[in-house]
Structure 1
Amino acid sequence: MKALFEKGISFEEFVNRDKDTHKEKTLEIYHQIEVDEELVQEIKTIDRIIHVLVFGEIWCPDCMINVPALQKMADINDKIVIRIVSREGNEAYMENYAVNGKPKIPTFVFMDENFQEIGVFIEQPQVVKDVVAKGKQVEIIVAKRKYRKGEYVNDTIREILKILKKS
């Protein structure tokens, strides 16, 4: 995973790969993110290097929301180091994280300073997955609309912090 991480690109390079609407939407979400103050303080307490290998694509709606959330965390604490690689061509690396046999994006693989895996975030925050799992169409539509506008970003950050605290 270390070699793949080292081949990855930064958030800025990731966003700049697109010259159109995907870049605009991703940056719009990024600039709208307001991290709750208690989360900011929690992010600042991370006192060791966390390498995050992101499998993502700029055109993916879930990537447009969750990759900026992760970048905000890295903006708050420079011990969080992100590198992004394409899903395409890296499916073999993603096999361990597949959901129902399919690689999902974004997939964030969190690793310590020695590139030992400490946890994974896949696709969406659990709160959105829970609404979808209930199967109530109206609730799903409302939740997805809010999610696409970036209203669950703090949930993504909370979930990532839980992963990092377990390790």
Structure 2
Amino acid sequence: MSGLKDIYLKGFTFEKYLGIASQDELEKLEELYKNVVVSDEFVNKIKIIDKKVHILASVETWCPFARIFLTTLRKINEIKPIFDLSLITYGRGVSELAGYLKIDEDDFVVPTAVFLDEKFSKLRVFNGFPEKYHKENTLDTIDATRNYLKGKSVNDILEDILMVF
């Protein structure tokens, strides 16, 4: 599926993402980074992973859901660099990525990330937040959403992301 590879190769790095973020957004990212703690259980799971996966993610610096997703990926890669990340904007996500993932424009959110194998074939999609949240309406209260966005549900994000392995 060369289309996903082409989009991936045209994306930008996490460092560029940080470079386009406002000072306020950077402060929120730093606060999240301090608050997100990966449990020993997940550290051990990450350490035994023996392959790398490409991630193509549609994100925006203003989106708190994208910030928690990217912070979680950053923490994982600090434990063991298992993800190669390429980022695109929401606009490019809607115009270029949504069709490949068969997501209607009205349902396309940031972050939407597609996990790709070494041949750039789709392994899994992360659409906004962990899959189980879509089924359970887990973020149906203001407090639940706030806690999620503060990094207090990082184990759920980790569990969802690591299902790719």
For the aligned pair, the TM-score class normalised by the smaller chain equals 0.7 to 0.9
For residues 145 and 132 of structure 2, the distance between their equivalents in structure 1, rounded to whole angstroms, comes to 11
Match of 1:161 in 2: 162
Flag structure 2 segments of 5+ consecutive residues without an equivalent: none
2:110 alignment partner in structure 1: 105
Q: Percent identity?
A: 29
Residue 139 of structure 2 contacts residue 145 of structure 2 at CA under 8 Å; is this kept in 1? no
SS at match of 1:90: helix
Equivalent of 1:33 in 13, 36, 45: 36
Structure 1 gap ranges (5+):
none
- Structure 1 residues 110 and 146: CA distance shift in structure 2, 3 A: same
Question: Does 1:67 find its partner at 2:65?
Answer: no
Per the TM alignment, residue 128 of structure 1 is displaced from its structure 2 partner at its CA by: 4.2
1:114 aligns with 2:115: no
The alignment covers a number of residue pairs equal to 160
Q: Is the 8 A contact 1:22 1:58 kept in 2?
A: yes
Task: Verify: 1:20 aligned to 2:31, yes or no.
Answer: no
SS at match of 1:89: helix
TM-score by length of 2: 0.86
Structure 2 CA distance for partners of 1:7 and 1:100, relative to 1, 3 Å: closer
Partner Cα separation in structure 1 for residue 88 and residue 77 of structure 2: 17
Contact 2:60/2:66, CA 8 A, preserved across alignment: yes
State the alpha-carbon separation in 2 of the partners of residues 56 and 74 from structure 1. 18
Q: Please give the alpha-carbon distance, in whole angstroms, between the structure 2 residues aligned to 1:125 and 1:79.
A: 19
Shift of 1:19: 2.6
C-alpha displacement at 1:106, in angstroms?
Answer: 0.2
8 Å Cα contact 1:55/1:107 also seen in 2: yes
TM-score, length-scaled by structure 1: 0.85
Shift of 1:35: 0.5
In the aligned structure 2, how far is the partner of 1:66 from the partner of 1:123?
Answer: 9
Task: Give yes or no for contact 1:128–1:143 (8 Å, CA) kept in 2.
Answer: no
| Residues 97 and 45 (structure 1), Cα distance of their counterparts in 2 relative to 1, 3 Å cut | farther
RMSD, aligned α-carbons: 2.1
In structure 2, do the counterparts of structure 1 residues 155 and 145 end up closer, same or farther at CA, with 3 Å as the change threshold? Answer: same
2:90 to 87, 94, 104: 87
Q: Deviations over 1:86-121 (max 9, x none)?
A: 111331312325268421110111011111111011
Q: Is the 8 A contact 1:57 1:87 kept in 2?
A: yes
